[in-house]
Structure 1
Amino acid sequence: MSSRRKPSRRTRVLVGGAALAVACAGVVGTVAANAADSGGTAPAAAPAAARGGDLVQSTHLTLDAATGAARAAVEAAEKDGRHVSVAVVDRNGNTLVTLRGDGAGPQSYESAVRKAFTAVSWNAPTSELAGRLAQAPGLKDIPGTLFLAGGAPVTAKGAPVAGVGVAGAPSGDLDEKYARAGVATLGH
């Protein structure tokens, strides 16, 4: 005769409940796996619609306009016998176009991008911003900026939409003259 005791009713209920839970988990897992697409990812949640008050609109230059401004700046410099690089950035400081003129120095490329970024960031010519360094010397430590003359903002209805930066001429005043020549083409 065996000395094993018969499990109590409570033990049988707990064991049966656990077995039922394992079986249900397997069914749920199978259903979830079958709901996934062939790539193995779960179905995407329905897109949420943003409320009108949560949205803003912004204006951006077209690539053609940015390219035209950059070419105009390079051509203005070439007329004066100068070799420059030109960059046009969008409102967010992302580079749209860069042109490195024949004979432009290697440092001019990055400097042009940084001047354009600085001009659009503060919606001011970089020659004006360079003067502000005396009151706020920490400005020069902001990543991606260059507070030397040669950057000009592009605006639409008073708001900045782009920046044109030029580097490589013998002076920042000349760089800025060529940047302004690029900006001027956008008003026509």
Structure 2
Amino acid sequence: MKNKALKVILLTASVALSPGAIAQESDQPLLVEIRRMSMDVALAIAKTAIDHCREQGVQVAVTVVDRGGHPQVVLRDVLAMDLALDVSFRKAYTAMTFTSATSALEDRFTGPFSVGKLDKVLLSAGGMPVQASGETIGGVGVSGAPSGQIDESCAQAGVAAVEMDLEMAPF
């Protein structure tokens, strides 16, 4: 009797947990399409940011991260400090994570145990989210200029270089 009851329970569970049953109980799709930046777009952002900073007489490091916060393009100008590489990554990661310019976050998390104390998060001007049709698809961080405002203007120039193309891109 126990074996028969166990078989009935297992059969019921397997039917209930089958993909068809999951799709019927939920309006959520089983698979989702995710928009991602191409390498060429990420490279255009980084190169434009470098060029914008060079026009101001500044050599910087630029990191462009994808929507998961993973570095997609990293550029360091000849005279930019090595430290700028890590800082540019952290700014890009923070901008992507919070979907905000990092300058807007500088005074947001001030408590001793706030989110601003996390390893990858850096609440300092110089990071911008990269968006396509209102969806965050990455972030760019710039480091090495004498001020965060210059870093951020270079990051913004990088985003502006591809912004229209991203808005018009089909999906």
TM range (shorter): 0.7 to 0.9
Whole-angstrom CA distance in 1 between matches of 2:49 and 2:125: 15
SS of 1:127's equivalent?
Answer: helix
CA distance in 2, matches of 1:165, 1:112: 4
Corresponding residue for residue 4 of structure 2: none
Task: Give the match for residue 117 of structure 1.
Answer: 93
Structure 2 residue runs of 5 or longer lacking an equivalent are 1-18, 165-171
Alignment of 1:1-188 (within 5 A): 53-134=29-110, 138-188=114-164
| % identical aligned pairs | 36
Deviations 1:63-104 (A, max 9, x none): 000001100000000000001000000000010000001100
Mapped to 2, the partners of 1:169 and 1:131 lie a distance apart of 21
Report the counterpart of residue 10 of structure 2 in structure 1: none
Residue 173 of structure 1: how far off its partner (Å): 0.6
Q: Secondary structure at the match of 2:63?
A: strand
Q: Is the 8 A contact 2:110 2:116 kept in 1?
A: no
- 1:118 and 1:175 map into 2 onto residues whose CA distance is 14
RMSD: 1.9
Q: How much has 1:54 moved relative to structure 2? A: 2.7
3-state SS of paired residue (2:69) = coil
- TM-score under structure 2 normalisation? 0.77
Superposition TM-score, scaled by structure 1 size: 0.70
Q: Deviations over 1:119-152 (max 9, x none)?
A: 0001000000112123686122223111110000
Counterpart CA distance in 2 for 1:136 and 1:97 is 33
Shift of 1:159: 1.6
Supply the distance in 2 between the matched residues of 1:111 and 1:124 (Cα, whole angstroms).
17
Contact 2:95 2:128 in 1 (8 A): yes
Q: How many residues align?
A: 141
Tell me how far apart the structure 1 counterparts of residues 113 and 75 of structure 2 sit (CA, whole Å): 31
Deviations 1:30-87 (A, max 9, x none): xxxxxxxxxxxxxxxxxx8995623222211100000011000000000000010000
Q: 1:37 maps to which residue?
A: none
Code of the aligned partner of 1:131: D
